[in-house]
């Protein structure tokens, strides 16, 4: 209790918001931009040539994807400090979900490492390279299940907090289902071609922006610290 009472909630909120916002350019660069520039669907020969011509860019995308996971650790620990007064059990669930997704996402970069090794071989085996690139996509979809799941307990905590707007909590909980829908639709109907997370991610933008610009209602946060933690999903 004493540690929480000494915590500066707005300092923690702004640092959490800044680190959360940092995930946006890192994630876009590593997961979206580089693949869109290098990988040519249905043309593995051109893809191999693109990787060889832009090897440094490809390596940067791997590094960026790994840094995203490291930054995520900082983000979730800061958010835990900020939100655990609402409900410690739900806050722990939030931490658990994102920590489960991290090793999946990090190990998934091994497939891109294998691609680099293969494209630099004397005779690049196109079939194997194509396989590892496909495995990488599957790995991202599996990791995204946890990228979605952590949003629901986080959104619930925000909604119940009284020191961050409830609308942001609702948007975060809705965003959870965007990731889950995309992951399972991809796994079950890979040719579906429609994604939902890109339309339901608004909570992940609103929360860090709010934390950086407005912080939290310190009076309400302190009141929450002083009352016993409520039962889960009360």
29-45 pLDDT per residue, tens:
998 899 999 999 889 99
DSSP state of 62: H
Q: Does 175 reside within a domain? A: yes
Asked whether the predicted pLDDT for residue 101 surpasses 50, the reply is yes
Question: Long-range contacts made by residues 38-47, C-beta under 8 angstroms, separation at least 24?
Answer: 39/133, 44/126, 44/129, 44/130, 44/133, 45/126, 47/129, 47/133
Q: Does 1 reside within a domain? A: no
Asked whether the predicted pLDDT for residue 227 surpasses 90, the reply is no
pLDDT at 7: 75
Q: Does 117 reside within a domain? A: yes
Q: Does 107 reside within a domain? A: yes
* Separation CA 67–CA 84 (nearest Å): 25
Q: Which of 234, 233, 227, 229 lies closest to 87 in space, CA to CA? A: 229
Q: Which of 143, 162, 177 lies closest to 72 in space, CA to CA? A: 143
Tally the domains of the chain.
Answer: 1
Q: What is the mean pLDDT of residues 167-195?
A: 93
Q: Which of 115, 127, 145 lies closest to 34 in space, CA to CA? A: 115
pLDDT at 2: 40
**pLDDT band at 197; cut points 50, 70, 90:** confident
Residue carrying the six token digits 């440094």: 56
Planar angle of CA 133, 25, 55, nearest 5 degrees: 40
Q: What is the mean pLDDT of residues 189-216?
A: 91
Q: Does 108 reside within a domain? A: yes
Asked whether the predicted pLDDT for residue 172 surpasses 80, the reply is yes
* Separation CA 72–CA 16 (nearest Å): 10
Domain that holds residue 130: 8-223
Q: Does 232 reside within a domain? A: no
Asked whether the predicted pLDDT for residue 226 surpasses 50, the reply is yes
pLDDT > 70: what percent of the chain? 94
Both tokens of 217, joined, read 């209602």
Q: Does 90 reside within a domain? A: yes
Q: How close are the terminal C-alpha atoms of the chain, in Å? A: 22
39-62 confidence digits (pLDDT tens): 998 899 999 999 999 999 999 999
111-147 confidence digits (pLDDT tens): 999 999 999 998 999 999 999 999 999 999 999 999 9
Query: What's the whole-number average pLDDT of the chain?
Result: 92
Q: Does 122 reside within a domain? A: yes
The pTM assigned to this predicted structure is 0.89
């Amino acid at each position: 209790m004493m540690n929480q009472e000494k915590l500066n909630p707005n300092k923690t909120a702004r640092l959490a918001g800044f680190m959360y916002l940092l995930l946006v350019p890192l994630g876009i660069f590593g997961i979206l931009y580089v693949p869109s520039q290098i990988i040519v669907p249905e043309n593995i020969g051109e893809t191999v040539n693109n990787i060889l011509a832009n090897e440094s860019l490809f390596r940067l995308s791997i590094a960026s994807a790994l840094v995203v996971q490291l930054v995520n650790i900082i983000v979730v620990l800061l958010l835990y400090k900020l939100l655990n007064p609402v409900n410690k059990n739900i806050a722990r669930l939030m931490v658990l979900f994102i920590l489960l997704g991290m090793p999946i996402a990090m190990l998934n970069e091994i497939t891109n490492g294998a691609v680099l090794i293969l494209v630099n071989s004397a005779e690049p085996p196109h079939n194997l390279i194509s396989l590892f690139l496909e495995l990488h996509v599957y790995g991202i979809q599996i990791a995204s299940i946890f990228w979605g799941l952590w949003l629901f307990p986080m959104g619930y905590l925000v909604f119940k907090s009284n020191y961050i707007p409830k609308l942001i909590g609702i948007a975060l909980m809705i965003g959870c289902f965007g990731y889950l829908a995309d992951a399972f639709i991809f796994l079950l109907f890979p040719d579906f071609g429609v994604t939902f997370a890109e339309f339901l991610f608004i909570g992940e933008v609103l929360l860090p922006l709010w934390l950086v610009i407005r912080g939290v209602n310190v009076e309400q946060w302190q009141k929450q610290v002083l009352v016993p933690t409520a039962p889960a999903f009360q």
